[in-house]
Amino acid sequence: MGPEHEKEHYLQLKDEINRHNYNYHVLDAPLISDGEFDALLRELRTIEELHPDWITPDSPSRRVGGTLSERFRKVAHPAPVLSLANAFDANEVRSWLERIEKLDERVRLGNFVLEPKIDGLTVVLRYENGILVQGATRGDGEIGEDITANIRTIRSVPLSIPLSGRDVPVPDLLVVRGEVFMLNSDFERLNAELQEKGERTWLNPRNTAAGSLRQLNPEITAARPLKIFVYQILASSSADLPDKQWERLDYLRELGFPVSPDSVYCEDAEQMLAGLAAWNEIRDRLDYDIDGVVVKLNDLRVTESLGFVGKDPRGAIALKFPAREVTTQLAGIGVNIGRTGVLTPYAMLDPVLVGGVMVKQATLHNFDFIRDRDIRIGDRVLIKRAGDVIPYVIGPVLESRSGAETPYEIPHACPVCGQETEQLPGEVAVYCVNSACPAQLIRNVEHFASRGAMDIAGLGIKNVELIVQKALVADYADLYRLKREDLLELDGFAGKKADNLLEAIADSKRQPLERLINALGIRGVGEVMAQTLAANFETLDVLAARDPAEFERIEGIGPNIAQAIADWFARPSNQQTLAKLKASGVWPVAEKSAGDEGQTDLPLSGQRIVVTGTLQSFSRDEAKAFIQKNGGKAIDSVSNKTSFVLAGENPGSKREKALSLGIPVLTEAEFFERFGEK
């Protein structure tokens, strides 16, 4: 290959790599594999080693590397990088609109653009003759820090414009403004990797993005999954730029800049004001954090004529959302005990307003989370509340520590009943193993009476609370010893209501063995596992006499669940509960299914089926009963042994796993077509 052809090939290779970068990092639609991309980049670097004089600042090889800087150089922006005035509700946006309508009557007939106010770090990118020559932070709006080497490592930042293959005019000088941020999903992955390495994790995506851009070593920045959205032209040598904000966004997109796909065009002020309410919902579905929505006049000529109030342009305003992340003092750590005995820590906080709600308590996930984040009583902690989600602690603000903070110790005894706690090998959870623990009793009785268990009509959580609070039961077996006069003492219980509940309790004695096994509340044993146990052990007497090794021989039962079953039946308090059930006549014998009797000619004989999502024709329980009646086996999890998945609406991860394993996924219509109607 001659020098001219080699140079031409080199330029084509640069364009190809830049195009793949754009597809991967901006469009999220890669055209080639990572291995193929790496091969192209290696070829480019090989050519550049032979011809270093060909290397230009827009080369993809310039994204990573560079020498360490002693400090960031200060650079002046070509135009002020201004902030916006804030509004905190729709009424304040209306007031802003009324003010600017009085100043320029064109506002009344104008259009608007709503853009997400990204919670990241503002940067300024300078292009000369289409080549990125400088990247800077916003700084004080007049002077910023030169972070060009770090900016070049961000894969979604075009090193040259326009994107290869696009015929778009490019000014000799173009300076744009954008926001660098990190996707929440990328942030979680990054923190998981840091935690695995034993390194300090980040508190939130915004701090991570800002800290990554201010690294003195660009290679560190290159290792962080940063993104950028560009939304404003600060300066240009061209007089022919679009004079509408919506059209400028399109122009930026055509040049190859990543532009937020979530911006909205509004025909008039009425549509704009009506559209503001939707942003709380939009905020929850985005994979990146926004702290508000920016309202802009679409006509930039009108914006220019309106001028400024101080340093704030009149032609735009930021509607700020209530803060979802705040800091407050961790006054203490409490512990809740769940139905299965799991001890769950929670934060007791100095009251603080988060997302418009006064918060006094927040989730701490589990004891490992407290240990891994080194959360101490007395710490100043960062907490977050998103939508209707329960507030949770992100981590401590280490810089605020005084030395008076106290490390937390995991309780070795249940704080309610005093029973010694247990933690199985390989599990995060810590358990109170006393099924008679008062903290567990209400949830245990509620579960026992629930539809998937003994299905006792009229025994919902409120009535269970009344019965437990009056000390009418010490465990769920005592339900079968309740008397009419006991119930008549409860608030809201008259003769008919008491009679109906006693009748429902008596009727529950006819429930099959699998329902009773599920109702017992054994850790790790749900409806499907209960069916498996009932198919292998015909009574609770037989089940209680088995050891963990026998359980492990049954498909789908691992060592932890096997041990949990054996431990449950071995505890004296549970043996007393079983004795009371037996004495009350609640002791069913397993029924033989069609499959047990050797019928192999049924439609679903030998089939292992996972049901997921919401079905239209029948409930999940009815679907499983249909499967068993027709010779099949309903299982909980997808594996290589699964025959197929029956998927309703919103099937979730089980459908995706099945597809990844090449396991058939049937809709309800396909299921009925193959195996007959319900």
- How many Å separate Cα 78 from the centre of its chain? 40
Q: Dihedral (C-alpha) 667, 672, 673, 677: value to the nearest 10 degrees?
A: -160
672 vs 618: CA distance, rounded Å: 12
Q: What tokens were used for 51?
A: 């011809």
Q: With contact defined as beta carbons under 8 Å apart, do 277 and 94 qualify?
A: no
Q: With contact defined as beta carbons under 8 Å apart, do 82 and 296 qualify?
A: no
Residue type, 301: R
Handedness of CA 538, 543, 544, 545 (dihedral sign): positive
Handedness of CA 8, 13, 14, 15 (dihedral sign): positive
Question: In the Cβ-directed half-sphere of 139, how many Cα atoms lie within 13 Å?
Answer: 20
410 vs 335: CA distance, rounded Å: 10
Q: With contact defined as beta carbons under 8 Å apart, do 544 and 569 qualify?
A: yes
Q: What is the 3-state secondary structure (H, E, C) of 207-219?
A: HHHHHHHCCCCHH
User: Which residue(s) pair with 313 in the sheet?
Assistant: 308
Beta strand ranges found along 525-565 (DSSP E): none
440 vs 433: CA distance, rounded Å: 10
422 vs 411: CA distance, rounded Å: 10
Q: Among all residues, which ones are annotated catalytic?
A: 117
Helix (H, G, I), strand (E, B) or coil at 632: coil
Q: What tokens were used for 506?
A: 């008596």
Question: In the Cβ-directed half-sphere of 496, how many Cα atoms lie within 13 Å?
Answer: 0
User: Which residue(s) pair with 296 in the sheet?
Assistant: 113, 316
Q: With contact defined as beta carbons under 8 Å apart, do 625 and 515 qualify?
A: no
